Amino acid sequence: MVTASKMTSTNYSTAGGSLSGGASGAGDNSGPIISNVKIDSKTLANNDYIKQTATLTATITDEVGVSLTCSSIEVDGVKTLFSTLTSASTFDASASTLSYNLNLSSGSHTIKICAVDIKGNTTSLTRAVEVSSGGAISASSVMIYPNPFNPTAGNARIAYTLNTAADISIMIFNAVGQLTFKTAISSGASGATAGYNEYSWDGKDTGGQVVGNDLYFVRIVSGGKVIGRTKLAVIK
């Protein structure tokens, strides 16, 4: 059991996947570890776009146990103790797994997980999220790793953040504007969900040939419009 006087608070907003919090009691001076924070099975980072209805999951572990009566999840300041979670949202103490159903309106939101062990050590993790207002589809933070890319050494990771799930195409053009590669991804499928997405490209053109060393232009397209773009260099 914990008392209020023993609680400490640590507010992390790192992009990391796990956190352990402040110290308080002898023998156990660290808070629970919060890890694998995901929305609909996708790792959640700060300022991610998510769907209006989504499921947040996280793993919360502690060597002496997590206090259900003190640990909570807060959405936009509205706190729900783990002990009061309904059947749709649960904290499974045996599996150390939190599952929480979100139903958010359009706009910006803050989600905070506050985990307390039975000795009162506390860890908290806060994430700002965005729910698309239903306007134009956009792909932000379009990046490719590695860049320059060597197709003989592996695939390129084309990363982008969609403000909402949508049917998209990834098109790659060469330095004189000729279409080199194109693939279509259906809304909701891997690579076309709200939030952070990746597509793995093997560096081959539509004919199956490895592309030549040069500059390429990557376009994320939805509804015939470019919603995100970046440049990629290929050097073998």
Partner 1 sequence: MTNYQLINDEINTKISIPNWRLVIGFSFVILICLLDLSVFAASTSLDPTQLGIGARSLSMGRSGAADMCEMGTIYINPANTGCFKDWGVTSMQTSLMQSDINYTFLAGAKRFADDGVLAVAYLAGSSFGINSTTIDANSRVVLNGSSFDYSNATFILSYGKEMKENFRLGGLLKTVNKNLSGQGSASGFNFDIGMTFVPKENLVLGLVAQNLMPSGLSWGTGAKENLPIGLKTGISFQPKDNLLLNLDLDSSPGAIHTGIEWQLNKNLSLRAGAESATALNYSMGVGIEMQGFRFDYAYLLDGNLAENSTSYFSLSFAPEVKEPEMVPHENDGGKKLQLKTDEGFPKEVLTPSIIISPPSLLNGQVAPKKKNSVKIKKIAPKKVLKKKQFSQLSRKKHKRV
Give contact residues for partner 1 (rule: CB under 8 A): 14-17, 43, 45, 143-148, 157, 159, 171, 173-179, 182, 196, 198, 206, 209-210, 212-215, 217, 219, 221, 224-226, 229-233, 235-236
Is 70 or 156 the residue whose CB approaches partner 1 more closely? 156
Q: Residues 6 or more apart from 212 whose CB is under 8 A from it? A: 234
Q: How far apart are CB 141 and partner 1 at their closest, in Å?
A: 8
> Where do we find the tokens 């914990």?
2
User: Measured at the alpha carbon of residue 56, what is the angle toward residues 72 and 168, in degrees to the nearest 5?
Assistant: 155
Is 79 or 225 the residue whose CB approaches partner 1 more closely? 225
Q: How far apart are CB 1 and partner 1 at their closest, in Å?
A: 34
Written as one string, the DSSP assignment of 151-174 is: GGG--EEEEEEESS---EEEEEE-
Is 31 or 203 the residue whose CB approaches partner 1 more closely? 203
Handedness of CA 130, 136, 137, 142 (dihedral sign): negative
Residues 208 and 71: their CA atoms lie apart, in Å, by 53
Q: How far apart are CB 129 and partner 1 at their closest, in Å?
A: 15
Is 93 or 215 the residue whose CB approaches partner 1 more closely? 215
Q: How far apart are CB 161 and partner 1 at their closest, in Å?
A: 10
Is 107 or 212 the residue whose CB approaches partner 1 more closely? 212
Q: How far apart are CB 147 and partner 1 at their closest, in Å?
A: 5
Residues 161 and 42: their CA atoms lie apart, in Å, by 12
Handedness of CA 74, 79, 82, 84 (dihedral sign): negative
